[in-house]
Structure formats: structure tokens, C-alpha cells
Structure 1
Amino acid sequence: MKIDPTTRIEGHHGMELEVEDGQITEARSTMKMFRGAEIITVGRSPRDAAQLTGKVCGVCFICHRIGSSRATEDAAINAGAFDGIPEHAKILRDAVEGIFFLWNHAIHLFALVGPDYSDAVADTGFERLDPLEGEGYQGALENQRKLMQALAEFGGRAPHPLAFVPGGVATNPDVSTVQTVKSRLREVSNWLGPTDAVPEVLENVRNGEFDPELGEGLHDVVSILVAAAREGAADLGSGPNRYYSNGLFREPESDERIFKRGVYRDGSAELMTKDEIVEAISEHTEYSYYTDDSGGPPTEAKPPDPDPNKEGAYSWGKAPRFEGQTMEVGPLARLTISGYDPFDLRANLGGGSDESNTLNRLIARAQEVLIVRDRVLDLLDAFDPSEPLMADFPDDYTGKGVGLWEPSRGTLSHYVDVENGEIERYQIITPTLWNIGPRDGEGNPSIIEGAIVGDEVADIENPINVMRTVRSFDPCLACSVHVDSPEGSYETELKPASPGGMTDVGDD
């Protein structure tokens, strides 16, 4: 059977499944568009890379700008042409990424995965989760709008802010701006509710009770988890319990991070340096529509070179591996590596705090919302808008750089080679490639391809559990494949707006 599209917003991912006696025996994850962003950057100034790659995705708009900026900054540092960005630029970048986390998690939990557990879709009794009409759904949309407004205060606009560039943050916020952002966040925080209310809210939801004083948003988020548990999500989408994170949220004036950098495998976490991580990563293209020399270590491989007629290929995504192994990335990875399981929710509901399954991915995302909410407010308290936010950045240098970053969906890496002030080579590895890419050169399936094998398909006409597992990874296909140019011609007419919105302006 084929399911295409699998996502509610972006429609260029599909699953091809072999089903025998109601059980999935083989799966292939397909991505339907060619990757082009890396090629576009070649020959341009490294300053342009953040502007270009930041538009890879209209959802993950901040993380690519920051990841790209970090890569070009790293190249300049390695060339001896740059000393690094100011401390308060680092704090502001982290704070803004935290606001983005909250925005993206709200979109994911309520608009992308929440409907799968709503009364309208699955007869769960949770009418507040019903898409468009549910009060919980509507409340989440209102609060994600406030978060987008907060992002625009620092970035100039959202999506696709202009302020995050190589050299720091090109903006001049004042105390009033910071207070406006804090005010927005407090409104969202009040909607969400206090962290320590989770046990009481969990009991309320199980008993069909609703106490808005403990947070309307918290009740709705917990409702998703309770519904998923009742629907058997802990027994779906089982992964290998291997995780990878680039780490995020530095302590000011320190290299310590709230979310740790490293991997988790064989039952324990291994914290790693940047160099150790860079050395461990390679990409495979045997089942991708790219030439073989488009794969290999991303520090050496050339930008993706299309081979659309390649025999055996089935995806425009590549297959990243960490020391030859698949790794799951995202909230569950971050929390497992860092040793966080607030209120033991994953241990008690999901079969174990480090267990990879559909339910635990949802639980970890909900837990992370509360952790990040508190962290962002701390970062904004530490941020001083009177401190420098930009450092002089060179135009002409030769060097190689890697920008490791950690968006909400998981690990992101940008790689750049600069020769005499021009980009010579560029590579991007996105979170979605780690989770739902194709097989590698040994024929080993990706995380998602392995996770749904063995799951039951009770109704071929409505394979809702397959969809629940796919969506639990929060796939972002625009980050992973970029360009679609079908044959055909296009014509449109643009009419300039009149002053004041008037459609007819007289001679006077």
C-alpha cells in the first residue's frame, strides 16, 4: 500500500508499505522533491548563505539562518579572520530559538498530530482537540500567534527574520522591546499553566474534569497524551533507542548546555565535543536520486548532484548515519541524552524513559514545552540590550566551517567551504533526514522505516496508526527537499495596492 501525502501541511512525503496478514513487513520512506539550496549558495559570498538557506523552509525559518551563520562564522574563525560573536548575541539567539520551540511545538501538538487523537477524527471524547472547531485547538492557534509576534519583535519580521546574520544579531532592541516580548511570553505561559500542576492535570483529564485555573493549554496537551496512551501509542513506532543531539541553551558565560551534546546508545549517554560529532557523521546516497559522490562525509562531499534516473533509488532525501548507525533526533533524543523525564511520564506511561515509541515522542515534546518555557524567560532576564550584538565580519577569507544547531525537530548541521571570499562547497543535514530518510548503502532502513515494521494495520482504508507514527516525528519535508519545477507555463497578474487600501483613486 502507498500513503501519500502523510503530513497535514507539507505534501511531499509518502510511505510505501508491504502489509501481510494485517501487519507491516517492509516500509520505504519517499521524499518527492529535489534538494537545491546547497547548490544555489555556491559561488556567492558566505554572507549570503544565511539569507538563502534561511528560506529553505517557511516553518524552520530561524534555525537555518542561525545554523548557516554559525557555519560561516566557524569558517572565518578557522581562517583566523574572526574572533566570534558577542556574548549577548549568543544569549539572544538562544532565547529566540526557545520562542521558536514553543511556537513550533504548539503547531505540532495541536494542528499536526493533535487531530489524530481528537473526537472528530478518532472518537476519543476530546472535543477540545477537534481541528478548527475545538476550543483547545483555537486557543493554541491564538497563542502561537502571540509567539510569532514575539519573534517578529527581535527579527524584524516572522517568518524569515532578517536580523540573524553572520557576526551576531543585526538588531537594536531596547528595554521596551524586551518587555514587550516578555509580556507576550507571560500571556502564553498563563495559557499553558504551571509546570508543577502536571500531576493534578493528568488526574483531571483521566477523570474527565477540566480546571482552567491550572492552565487551559496544559489540560489540552495532557489530553493528547492520555488519548494517545488509550489508543495504544506506546506499542507503535518502536525505534532502536539510539539518539543524537547537538545540544542547546547555553548557560550565560559558560559552555554548559541545558540540553546536552552527544548520543545515547546501548543504554547510556555519551557526551561529545563538536569535533567528535563532526568526525562521526556521513551520508549515504545509494537509495537517493543523487550521484554516489554526493554522499560520504559532509565535510568533504560535494553539494547534491541529481541523478533522477538512478536505478534502485526511491527518495530525494539522503541517509545520514552516525558512526554507521541510524540515530533518532528531536525532543525525545534531547531529553533522553540530558537525563530528563519530568514527573516520570515516559517511565510510567511510555514503557521507559529511554524507550523510542510513538507515545514517548509525544510525551517528550510536551515535557520539553514546559522546560523551554521556563528557560526562555531566564534567558531574557539575562539579556542586556545595551551590550554589543554584532562583531565585524570579514568579506574575504579562506576557510572551512561547520554550524551545529538544535532546532525543535532535532539536530541541524550546515557545512561550508569558503575560498577567497566565495562559497566553494555547501552541505546541509536536516533533522528530518535523520528520522525519515531512505536506506543506507548496507540496505539498513532509516529510523521511521524500521519503526513501523511490525505495526498492525487494522483498516487499509484508514491506516491511522501508521499516520500517528509518521507524524510523531514531526517531519519537515521542506527542510529536507527543496525545489519542484514541473513542466508547464505559469501566468499571473500583479496589481499594486492603492494608498489606504482604496481601489479607485481620483484625479485630486
Structure 2
Amino acid sequence: MTTPQRPPDIICAENTFVISARLAGGRVAKTWSTGKMVHNMDFLLGATTEGEAPRFAKRPACICNDGHALAAARAVENLADVQIPEAARLVRNLAQGLQLLSDHLTHFYHFSLSDWLNLGRALRADAGKTAKLAECSCPRPDQGRAAFSSEALQRLTALAQGEGGAFFAVEHWDHPAYAGGPEHHLLVFSHSQAALDIRAKLAEARKLLRCTGPGHPAYQIGGLSKAADGPDLSPEARNGCAALLRQSAEFIRNVFLPDAVLVARLYRHEADLGRSGAFLSWGDFPAGERGEALLPGGVVALDQGLSAQAAQWNQVRVEQEPAWADADASRYRLRFGSGEPEYRWTNDGFHWFAVPRYAGRACEAGPLSRMLVAYAKGGRAVRDEMDRALRQAGLSPQSLDSTVGRMLARALEAASVAKAALGWLDSLDALLGGGKAPVQTPWSLPHSGEGVGLAEIGRGALAHRVRLENGRIVEHDYLIPSLWNFSPRSADGTPSPLERALAATPVADSAHPLEILRAVHAFDPCNACVIRLEDDDAGKTVTVRAK
């Protein structure tokens, strides 16, 4: 008699998210979101147990380095009670905004596009019909018509036949979860190359201003770096940046946003899937002394209506080890019994996910949170943009609380930030035109105290906290967006935003759970992600790499 072999262990060599879901009746019956990651700044800096204090840091080992640099600088500025000069505020807004635009383009066209559209289906489209569709979809159809030439179709065909075929799931072109005809798929896929070109322009704009590099010259404590390789605020640099930004803003307005609206219209029948219910934004892109931030901070709980309350750091509590029931504890600690693979992390410095809550609520962080808070607070620029897009997509503001709403929110935010960025450049021109403006505020640290730096990055709300005692840093930690979104349920049984969003999600094929992948990717996990599906209907367990 042959003894069945246990599946190979799942080796996690980096921060890894693990989402377990039980399927029953073709839908998600229950979900458990957990994982391990580094979330201790002392570990990242190599602090020792013998008392070596960590240093100020602005570059943790993760893919959101710029955001951590900004939040860490703000934490020390809060500790030292420093207000940065106006020129520094504008340059920081530009550096942060250009990065945010690039992040949203990347996520839509090159990370999650195959969740909504399929390259294999696109290649079955009629180019002439697609061009006509573009005339109805894009305010500037001339920008898209060239994409429907035979050259574009040849490029997409070559992509499908190469490594891109697997990346864009070409073989699953007939998956029942896909909506829309081949022409819809071709229209959006044909813009993916142009999106790469725009990303390059945004990177060049940041490079012209010299706001890039490991030193993060735009995010120095007190303002900007005054070193020779600090930000370049010359007229030549500003004019070059403005030209590149105008081209990028035109693409975002006339291609990216219409593409996202088109996809939202195709999937508006799914606007009841993926709800999380509560949203947190620290707010960002601050204005001058008398103005309001482009993205205001706040908390929205939709069970209390579309209104926003102030967001306060002192309302945040983090459960490190919730007292779950035994069955839940086994899944959150990935103990699945005999015959199941074990999850092994190669680094002992990784820790289980903590559980952040805001005034007891499990709050979602990210572009959707920022857009809903801005909408609820009546920000005219954001509200007008959202109302127009929602009418075109056939959605209501409340229906943005959905997987399809998260996708649309990225494009809405990009359009708002691109427009604002041009205004920041104009303000910088006016400020510098009146003479040399200060870029750094002198500062000194108190002997003891605590500072908190809040920032909004592509993935959502980020916070750094620095505590000083007797002139030495005794604590430097941070709370990242993915912990808000992907944390386990709390001790009182409140599920995390992702766990709530996955509830009752239909799954047509557990071997290729497109519907679950779509929901997970919409929350933009910041690291490797594994999905474990217990399919009660088929009597099997399936493991899928989501990222």
C-alpha cells in the first residue's frame, strides 16, 4: 500500500501574506487573512539587544521607500515642532504626487489589468469596431486610434506568445468572471505601452527636480536637502518638469480615467461585492497656512452615512496577539494538520501580523478611502470629478465600496493629483520668481518626547512613531497600509477589510480563482501573497500564488 505523500512545504523567503478561504456552494463562506513580515525599525537598522540604539531612518527595506522617508521625516519634525518652508512643502507635494501617479498607472495597466480584462480575449477583437468604441469612450479618441493598427495588434500578439502570455493569463480568456466583449479588452490593453511611456516621463520629471535617490533629498528633516545634489529648483528644471507633467496629465485625463470608467461600467453588476464598510485616511498634500489639503484626513463609516469624522492618531489601537477561538487560531497561525504543507519563513526576524483598529473599527486604507473621505468632506475638485465618473459608469458614491470601486478610485485620484501638481508647479514658479526662498527650517531635538509622522502613500495610510528618552531613540516603529487591510480579525471577532470584502464572493473555478485574485489585488498587497482555498464542493484544497 502506497503512503500518500505530503505536499511540499511553502517556503517564505520574504514578507508573505497568506489568505485562507473556505468555499461552499460556489462562494466564499469564510476567510482568514494572516502572514509574517518585518515591522520593527530596530530590526531593519540592526539594533542589538546589548543596548545599541537605532538611528533615525528613512529607508526601510521595502518597496515603499519614498513613503517611509516622508513619514519618518514628518515624525521627527513633529517631535521637534518644526514647520517646513513653503518651497519645501510644494516640492514635497510634487515628489510625492509624481510617485503616486506612477504607482496608480503601474497598478492598473501592469499589475491588475488581467483581473478585469484578458489579453487572449483582446486578440479576438475587431480593430475597426474597437476604434469606434474608442470614439465613444475617450474624450480625445485620436490619442487611441493608432493603437488599433496592425502594428499594435502584432505587438500584443507577440506579448501573448511570449512570457506575457502567462502573466496576463491568456489561456483563461473565456473565464466566466470576465465581462465585456473582445473590443473592450483590446481598447484598454492597447494603452498599456503608452502607460509605460508615461511612467518614464513621470520618472524623468522627478529626476529633473533631483527628488530621487537613496538620500531622498525632498524628505530631509526640516524641509529639503541644501546639498549640491539636493532638489534642483532652477527655471530650466521646473519648465522641463511642467512639460512632462502636462503630457502625463493629458494621458491620465483622456486615456487612464476613461479606461477605468469603461471597466467600471462593464462590472457595475458587481458593485455589491467587496464591501468593507469603514475607511481611514490621514490626509495628505498639505496646503499653505490658509488652504485645505488636496486629500483631507478623516474616517468614514458607511453604516453611519456618507460623512467623515476627524482622523486622530490617539484612536489607533493595535492588538498583537488576539484571543481567537481555537479553530481560528489554527488558521491564523497556519496550522493545518497532517497531510498539509507547512509554511516556513527563512528569517526569524519576521513577526505575525498585528491587528490595528481605529476606535474599535476595522478600517480600510488606500485610494478608495482617500476618495470617499474627500467626497464626504465636500472637496469641490474631487467631488466634481467623482460625480462625473460615477454617472458615466452607472454607479453611486456608496457603490464605490466594492472591488470595482477600488479600481476606479485609483484613476479618480490620479486625475485629481495630476491637476493639482500643475498648480503646485505654478505656485513654486511664483514663489521663486520673487527671489530666493528658504527650503530648510533650522531645528533641534528636545531631550525627550514622541513624534508621529502621518502620510498617504499609494497603498494607503502610513504612520511612523519615534520616541526619544534622554537624548536617545528608544523606539521607532511604523504602521503600514497593508496591516490595516490584510490583518486578521480582532479578538472580538471583527473581520479585517479584506476578510469582510471577500465574504460571499462567487468563485467559478477554484483552480483559477479570478474573483478572489481581483479582490486581493484591489487592496494592493505590498509583498508576496499566497491564497489557500478549501473547496468543500470539490473536496480539495488549492494553493495559488497571488503575487
Q: TM-score range by the shorter chain?
A: 0.7 to 0.9
Q: Deviation at 1:467?
A: 0.6
Retained in 2: the 8 A contact 1:156–1:163?
yes
Task: Give 1:248's aligned amino acid.
Answer: D
Q: Which structure has more RCO (C-alpha within 8 Å, separation ≥ 6)?
A: 2
Retained in 2: the 8 A contact 1:114–1:224?
no
Who is 1:244 aligned against? 280
Q: Residues of 1 paired with 2:291 and 2:352: CA distance?
A: 36
Aligned pair in 2 of structure 1 residues 220, 352: CA closer, same or farther (>3 Å)? closer
Answer with 11-20 or 157-166: which moved more.
Answer: 157-166
Task: Give 1:354's aligned amino acid.
Answer: Q
Q: Residues of 2 paired with 1:347 and 1:453: CA distance?
A: 27
Aligned pair in 2 of structure 1 residues 172, 143: CA closer, same or farther (>3 Å)? closer
Retained in 1: the 8 A contact 2:323–2:491?
no
Q: Deviation at 1:23?
A: 1.5
Secondary structure at the counterpart of residue 352 of structure 2: coil
Q: Does 1:269 align with 2:307?
A: yes
Who is 2:158 aligned against? none
Q: Deviation at 1:76?
A: 1.4
Q: Deviation at 1:369?
A: 1.2
Q: Residues of 1 paired with 2:516 and 2:200: CA distance?
A: 30
Picking from 187, 201, 205, the partner of 1:146 is: 201
Picking from 419, 432, 439, the partner of 1:374 is: 419
Retained in 2: the 8 A contact 1:168–1:389?
yes
* TM-score normalized by the length of structure 2: 0.69
Alignment of 1:422-433 (within 5 A): 422-433=472-483
Gaps of 5+ in 2: 1-6, 120-168, 175-179, 325-343, 376-382, 530-547
Task: Give 2:514's aligned amino acid.
Answer: I
Task: Give 1:23's aligned amino acid.
Answer: R
Q: Deviation at 1:428?
A: 0.7
Q: Deviation at 1:128?
A: 4.2
State which structure, 1 or 2, has the greater radius of gyration over its C-alpha atoms. 2
Q: Does 1:13 align with 2:13?
A: no
Alignment of 1:60-459 (within 5 A): 60-77=64-81, 83-120=82-119, 121=169, 122=173, 124=180, 125=182, 126-128=184-186, 134-158=189-213, 161-170=216-225, 171-173=230-232, 174-193=234-253, 215-229=254-268, 232-240=269-277, 242-254=278-290, 256-265=292-301, 266-272=304-310, 277-287=312-322, 316-339=352-375, 340=383, 342-346=386-390, 349=393, 351-355=395-399, 356-383=401-428, 384-385=431-432, 386-394=436-444, 397-459=447-509
Retained in 2: the 8 A contact 1:244–1:327?
yes
Q: Residues of 2 paired with 1:18 and 1:160: CA distance?
A: 46
Secondary structure at the counterpart of residue 371 of structure 2: helix
Task: Give 2:488's aligned amino acid.
Answer: P
Q: Residues of 2 paired with 1:186 and 1:32: CA distance?
A: 41
Spell out, residue by residue over 1:278-323, the C-alpha distance to the aligned partner (whole angstroms, 9 max, x if none).
Answer: 111011122599xxxxxxxxxxxxxxxxxx99xxxx9722111010
Retained in 2: the 8 A contact 1:76–1:394?
yes
Who is 1:484 aligned against? none
Q: Deviation at 1:447?
A: 0.5
The count of aligned residue pairs is: 412
Give the root-mean-square deviation of aligned CA atoms.
3.1
* TM-score normalized by the length of structure 1: 0.74
Secondary structure at the counterpart of residue 259 of structure 1: coil
Aligned pair in 2 of structure 1 residues 128, 392: CA closer, same or farther (>3 Å)? farther
Gaps of 5+ in 1: 78-82, 194-214, 290-307, 480-508
Q: Deviation at 1:361?
A: 1.0
Q: Deviation at 1:40?
A: 3.9
Q: Deviation at 1:427?
A: 1.9
Q: Residues of 2 paired with 1:450 and 1:280: CA distance?
A: 22
Task: Give 1:88's aligned amino acid.
Answer: A
Q: Deviation at 1:351?
A: 4.8
Q: Residues of 2 paired with 1:111 and 1:288: CA distance?
A: 40
Who is 1:292 aligned against? none
Q: Residues of 1 paired with 2:504 and 2:259: CA distance?
A: 30
Retained in 2: the 8 A contact 1:432–1:477?
no
Q: Deviation at 1:143?
A: 0.9
Spell out, residue by residue over 1:349-384, the C-alpha distance to the aligned partner (whole angstroms, 9 max, x if none).
Answer: 475313311011112211111111100111111124
Who is 1:57 aligned against? 62
Task: Give 1:337's aligned amino acid.
Answer: V
Q: Residues of 2 paired with 1:468 and 1:20: CA distance?
A: 19
Retained in 2: the 8 A contact 1:110–1:129?
no
Q: Residues of 1 paired with 2:416 and 2:60: CA distance?
A: 28
Q: Residues of 2 paired with 1:392 and 1:324: CA distance?
A: 39
Q: Residues of 2 paired with 1:55 and 1:461: CA distance?
A: 36
Q: Does 1:25 align with 2:29?
A: yes
Retained in 2: the 8 A contact 1:250–1:257?
yes
